Amino acid sequence: MKTLREIRQINNAVQFVTDKMNFSSVFGRKTMLDQKFMTKKEAILLELNKLNAILEILKKEESISNIAKFEAKLHQINDIKNTINRLSKAQTLDDVELFEIKKFALICIELNEVIDTFNLDFVKWNDLTAVADILDPEKKRIPHFYIYSDYDDDLFKIRDEIDKSDDETVRENLLLKSEKIEQEVRQMLSSKLADYHLFISQNISTISELDFIFAKAKLAIELDFSEPQYSNETIEYIEIFHPMVKEALQSEGRDFQNLSLELYTAPCLVTGVNMGGKSVMLKTIVLIQYLFQFGFYVPAQKAKLRIFKEIYFNSGDTQSDVGGLSSFASEMLIVNDIISAAKRGRRIMVVLDELARTTNPDEGGAILSAVLEILDNYNVVSVITTHYGQIKWDGHRLRVKGLRKPAENEEINVKNIGNFMDYSLVPEDKSHSYMQALDIAKVLGVDGELLSKANKYLNNPNTD
């Protein structure tokens, strides 16, 4: 099963979102990166329920001080997993490692009361007072470690003799004896602490998980994400948005137009002019699905989602460096994998941008029509965009509304063209042609002679 670390490497939207997460411990980010892509309903809903519980805590004003204490303590924790691993193997720890264990135990003692106030039923927490007592016989609860004389009567006597002796040779012999006893004490302490290594490890796991979920909750609030709902049938997207594109537009003082659509257990073909937001829509759908199956809230006002074993996403950039394969060849190999998975009955989601765009329109249209028919026959949830006009398929088809006509007092130009683009999706009327490429080219200031000749060939395709 793929991890979030692996998905971040192939999906920049997932990377963008998760890079915005703020962690308080050294464990939180690693826990996030190691999170597995979940394909079981129970596992996903469990993660979302945990996230809901943390969001409820964040909403309570009386929780603010405890959350601050919790996060402050997490910042003080070092990564002691290697030390715990050595403990589990009954190895003798050195003074630095013993100090790390003591410091962690003292922090856990301080966290006891704070975590109790969260009242989270999924938290497994161990009181490490006994661990602290082993390393702090004087019970001063200071984050400092020393081989105390209290650990061994002989050590107490030898150290007393060292302090009183002025004979250098005697002192050296006594120091050697004390070092031997100190090592025996380390062995004794390590042996006692080994009995608690599972309890310590469990607290580390709890801290890691809580840090990760708190980061997810704060992310959901910051980016205005909503809780996804599970659906076994229709997939519904209400007011979805792409966080990275939205942020870029807002930095320019522009608004992102949210989209809404439904998907069924069949393909959905989306057509529309270039600059119509089709690619962003596909990337948003894929981002939402990944976030859902990693246990996050999603960028939408509302989303009802199904669960898939695998997501096939091809954004059109399929040039392969292996074996010198062209974009078309690489794309066809991806399509072949998709068809194979569909025929094996795999529960997959397919998202393809401009399928077969790199070949001629006649063959490209034929390939697209065939893919749509096969995916339809095998009830594969899929979204495919295209510019090809003559697609032989009568299934679910949507169109981007596209460029609207400016009012009398409005002027459209290359700088404000985005303000005149309507990215809404509407049912496609196959009896009408919706060609706006030349209109957009005109707004962009493309050479007038080129546009004139293009219009001539468009209106009279048989012109010599």
Q: What is the pLDDT of residues 335-357, one digit of tens each?
A: 999 999 999 999 999 999 988 88
In a domain, 439, yes or no: no
Gap between the Cα atoms of 321 and 330, Å rounded = 10
User: Would you state the structure tokens that stand for residue 221, as one six-digit string?
Assistant: 């609030």
Beta strands 267-271 and 396-403, pairing class: parallel
Mean pLDDT, range 279-300, rounded to an integer: 97
Q: Give the phi and the psi of residue 43 in degrees, each rounded to 5.
A: -65, -45
> Are residues 153 and 193 both part of a single domain?
yes
> Are residues 259 and 185 both part of a single domain?
no
> Are residues 200 and 297 both part of a single domain?
no
Mean pLDDT, range 272-280, rounded to an integer: 79
Q: Give the phi and the psi of residue 460 in degrees, each rounded to 5.
A: -135, 80
Whether 317 shows a pLDDT value over 60: the answer reads no
Contact criterion met (CB below 8 Å) for 358 and 327: yes
Which residue in the block uniquely carries the two structure tokens 């001063």? 140
Taking the whole predicted model, whether its pTM rises above 0.85 is answered as yes
> Are residues 368 and 291 both part of a single domain?
yes
CA dihedral 416, 420, 426, 427 (to 10 degrees): -100
Sheet holding 310-314, edge to edge: 310-314, 348-352, 381-386, 267-271, 396-403, 421-427
Whether 319 shows a pLDDT value over 60: the answer reads no
CATH number at residue 176: 1.10.1420.10
> Are residues 204 and 181 both part of a single domain?
yes
Contact criterion met (CB below 8 Å) for 191 and 90: yes
Give the domain extent around 17: 4-215
Gap between the Cα atoms of 60 and 50, Å rounded = 16
> Are residues 347 and 286 both part of a single domain?
yes
Gap between the Cα atoms of 410 and 186, Å rounded = 81
Whether 78 shows a pLDDT value over 50: the answer reads yes
Percent of the chain with pLDDT over 90: 61
Q: Over the stretch 427-449, which tens digit does the pLDDT of each residue have?
A: 887 655 555 666 666 667 776 77
In a domain, 455, yes or no: no
> Are residues 267 and 346 both part of a single domain?
yes
| Domain tally, the chain | 2
> Are residues 49 and 175 both part of a single domain?
yes
Which residue in the block uniquely carries the two structure tokens 């264990």? 101
Q: Over the stretch 8-32, which tens digit does the pLDDT of each residue have?
A: 999 999 999 999 999 999 999 999 9
pLDDT of residue 143: 83
User: Would you state the structure tokens that stand for residue 153, as one six-digit string?
Assistant: 């009567």
**Coil, strand or helix: which one is 46?**
helix
CA dihedral 126, 130, 136, 140 (to 10 degrees): 70
Contact criterion met (CB below 8 Å) for 167 and 180: no
In a domain, 444, yes or no: no
The dihedral built from the CA positions of residue 410, 414, 418 and 422, taken in this order, carries a sign that is positive
Lowest mean pLDDT among 4-8, 168-172, 215-219, 430-434: 430-434
Q: Over the stretch 135-161, which tens digit does the pLDDT of each residue have?
A: 998 888 888 887 877 777 777 788 777
- Which residue type does 16 have? F
> Are residues 185 and 329 both part of a single domain?
no
User: Would you state the structure tokens that stand for residue 326, as one six-digit string?
Assistant: 């062209």
Q: Give the phi and the psi of residue 344 in degrees, each rounded to 5.
A: -85, 0
- CA 245: distance to chain centroid? 17
- Reported as a pLDDT band with limits 50, 70 and 90, residue 83 is very high
CATH number at residue 407: 3.40.50.300
pLDDT of residue 443: 65
Mean pLDDT, range 97-120, rounded to an integer: 95
Mean pLDDT, range 65-69, rounded to an integer: 95
Whether 91 shows a pLDDT value over 70: the answer reads yes
Lowest mean pLDDT among 82-96, 326-340, 369-383: 326-340
* Average of per-residue pLDDT values in the chain: 88
pLDDT of residue 230: 97
The dihedral built from the CA positions of residue 273, 276, 277 and 278, taken in this order, carries a sign that is negative
Lowest mean pLDDT among 238-242, 286-290, 400-404: 400-404
- Which residue type does 344 have? R
Whether 423 shows a pLDDT value over 90: the answer reads no
Burial category of 424 from C-beta neighbours within 10 Å (exposed 0-12, middle 13-18, buried 19 and up): middle
Burial 385-400 (b: 16+ CB within 10 A, else e): bbbbeebebeebbbbb
- Reported as a pLDDT band with limits 50, 70 and 90, residue 320 is very low
Q: Which residue has the higher pLDDT, 421 or 209?
A: 209
Gap between the Cα atoms of 332 and 312, Å rounded = 13
Strands (DSSP E) contained in 145-195 are: none
Q: Give the phi and the psi of residue 305 in degrees, each rounded to 5.
A: -125, 150
In a domain, 416, yes or no: yes
Q: Which residue has the higher pLDDT, 237 or 319?
A: 237
424-427, long-range: CB within 8 Å, 24+ apart, which pairs? Answer: 424/257, 424/259, 424/400, 425/259, 425/260, 425/261, 425/270, 425/281, 425/398, 425/399, 425/400, 425/401, 426/398, 426/399, 426/401, 427/397, 427/398, 427/399
